[in-house]
Structure 1
Amino acid sequence: MAADLDRLAAWLRCPVCTADLRPVDRLTLGCGNGHRHDVNKRGYVALLGSGTSHVGDTADMLDARERVLEGGAYSPIAAAVSAACSGEHIVDAGAGTGYYLRAALPGRPGAHGLAMDLSAQAVARAVRSSDRIDGLVADTWRPLPIRSGVADVVLDVFAPRNLPEFQRVLRPDGRLVVVVPRADHLGSLRETGTMLDIPSDKADDVIHASETLYALLRREHVAYDLPLTDDLRTALIAMGPSARHASRHTAEPVTVGSTRVSVDVLLFSRR
């Protein structure tokens, strides 16, 4: 446990005073200013601070996501993410269950990642999924309790983006990998009214918002048709924000037999 705690602490700074965190005892991290933070026995730490108003994914949403991802439905996206990543220290902001982070970690034994998510349940699953993943419960919209310049890559897949903070935690030659859906992503399901609409220019918005902090190196469109079983169809609807907004009183059951997966994978360098 001590070695794992050292590795976890090496990512982190105190959310109260921004001083570097160090192991204090077997299940506690602390800074030189006396602030202490308990580490969960599963090996992750919650550094939310006060004032967080956002809500993390529920257990049902995470169960649905695992059915989709571990079943291979989004494996071409994971392959594109892996190809865009380099280096041995990867922070996944909005990591969920750790699926994309595991794909992004290279085969070298020294490579490891930090799974950061607002949902403690998600972080617990990510940490449990690989001994090369450390866990952090934190709010992406707030100053990140992560040390400056510790990451070779920041990964953001279908997740909120704190672009200035991502730049801060990246090394000078670091890379940012962002995955956003296109307007036609899962279009046949959206046409049934069970899922939220997607803006038509989401990738362009990210590129425009990032231009003072990052240089766009590559934009890759990943698209393919996905056959749907009843379980996969239900899980796709239930795994994301649409699960909170879709009507539970649809006039007819959703029976579409396939859908289009369509995303942009954006690779940026840090300016």
Structure 2
Amino acid sequence: MTDLTRLASWLRCPVCELDLEPVDRLTLGCANGHRHDVNKRGYVSLLGGGSKFAGDTAEMLDARDMVLEGGAYAPIATALAAAVAPAAHVLDAGAGTGYYLRAVLAASSGAAGLAMDLSPTAVARAVRSSPDVDGLVADTWRPLPVRSHRADAVLDVFAPRNLPEFHRVLRPGGTLAVVVPRAEHLASLREAGTMLDIPTDKAEDVIASADALYAPLAREHVAYDLALDDTLRLALAGMGPSARHAAASPAEATETTVSVDVLTFTPR
């Protein structure tokens, strides 16, 4: 059963920005009378209409589950948890299936997390995966329906970044953790295949974009070789942006390099 009090404690009304509170068994509401239904699966959608973006499909999430639950990106999750923990309240923006959020919560005793994603299917999976995770369907590019200074940490792993809104929802002294791929990430799958390329200066762009609002804390490079079979190779291609392009496919590689930067910041 969804803990509506805990879920509501994260949220503010997307219409008027007043705090949301439980109204009845499956409804949250604000003092101005706006009401928002909670899905029986334990999450709330505060997306509204008109978003021009689409969340990940069930097929993309299946591929992500195969990669992540199989441990292929476990060193990234370990580095992320070490960079953030301890944190009592963790917002994962673009949470997907909640894999990284669960890793961070496991490193922080008694912590609770909010899995936010544009995909209702992803949020449902994240909520189902842990009793410590609440779920929110929302668009990162819009004002977040999250209370100001509510999060001790915000995670952004291979996801869009709304840096001003992340700054607002972080408490003073909190941590923003951003994971971005380096140019050599999965390079062997791109060399002879048709997967999308990665910009060479992605981390530098994030650091420069964040400078007005955040002070940098650390930058950790996580890199290792990963053996591939056909199933993992196809799942790596199918879990990310390349999956949205019908012609995109990975190269016939037997191993690849995982290479990312884990960037941490604190609000100025």
* TM-score, scaled to structure 1: 0.96
Aligned to 2:140: 140
The structure-2 alpha-carbon separation of the partners of 1:181 and 1:51, relative to structure 1 and needing over 3 Å to count, comes to same
CA distance in 1, matches of 2:155, 2:138: 15
Aligned to 1:82: 81
CA distance in 1, matches of 2:57, 2:194: 18
- Deviation readout 1:171-200 (Å, 9 max, x if unpaired): 011100000000110000011233100000
Q: Tell whether the 8 Å contact from 1:195 to 1:246 is kept in structure 2 after alignment.
A: no
Q: Which runs of 4+ in 1 moved over 6 A?
A: none
- Deviation readout 1:46-91 (Å, 9 max, x if unpaired): 0002321100000000000000000000000000000011311000
Q: SS at the partner of 1:78? A: helix
Matches within 5 A, 1:59-70: 59-70=58-69
Q: Tell whether the 8 Å contact from 2:188 to 2:251 is kept in structure 1 after alignment.
A: no
Q: SS at the partner of 2:49? A: coil
Structure 1 unmatched ranges of 5 or more: none
Aligned to 2:258: 261
- Does residue 1:49 correspond to 2:51, yes or no? no
- Deviation readout 1:96-126 (Å, 9 max, x if unpaired): 0000000011455531100000000000000
CA RMSD for the aligned pairs? 1.3
Aligned to 2:29: 30
Q: SS at the partner of 1:91? A: strand
Q: SS at the partner of 2:177? A: strand
CA shift for structure 1 position 246: 5.0
Q: SS at the partner of 1:173? A: strand
CA distance in 2, matches of 1:35, 1:158: 33
Aligned to 2:183: 183
Q: SS at the partner of 2:148? A: coil
- Deviation readout 1:226-248 (Å, 9 max, x if unpaired): 00011000000000110112516
Q: Tell whether the 8 Å contact from 1:194 to 1:237 is kept in structure 2 after alignment.
A: no
CA shift for structure 1 position 22: 0.3
Q: SS at the partner of 1:105? A: helix
- Deviation readout 1:26-45 (Å, 9 max, x if unpaired): 00000000100000001100
Aligned to 2:121: 121
Q: Tell whether the 8 Å contact from 1:27 to 1:38 is kept in structure 2 after alignment.
A: yes
Matches within 5 A, 1:144-223: 144-223=144-223
- Deviation readout 1:4-32 (Å, 9 max, x if unpaired): 10000000000001000000000000000
CA distance in 2, matches of 1:107, 1:240: 26
Residue identity over aligned pairs, in percent, reads: 72
**1:67 is matched by which residue type in structure 2?**
M
Instruction: Tell me the matched-pair count.
Output: 267
Q: Tell whether the 8 Å contact from 2:193 to 2:251 is kept in structure 1 after alignment.
A: no
Q: Tell whether the 8 Å contact from 1:158 to 1:181 is kept in structure 2 after alignment.
A: yes
**2:52 is matched by which residue type in structure 1?**
S
**1:222 is matched by which residue type in structure 2?**
V
Q: Tell whether the 8 Å contact from 1:182 to 1:264 is kept in structure 2 after alignment.
A: yes
Structure 2 unmatched ranges of 5 or more: none
**1:24 is matched by which residue type in structure 2?**
V
CA distance in 2, matches of 1:235, 1:64: 5
- Does residue 1:236 correspond to 2:236, yes or no? yes
CA distance in 1, matches of 2:136, 2:122: 10
Q: SS at the partner of 2:7? A: helix
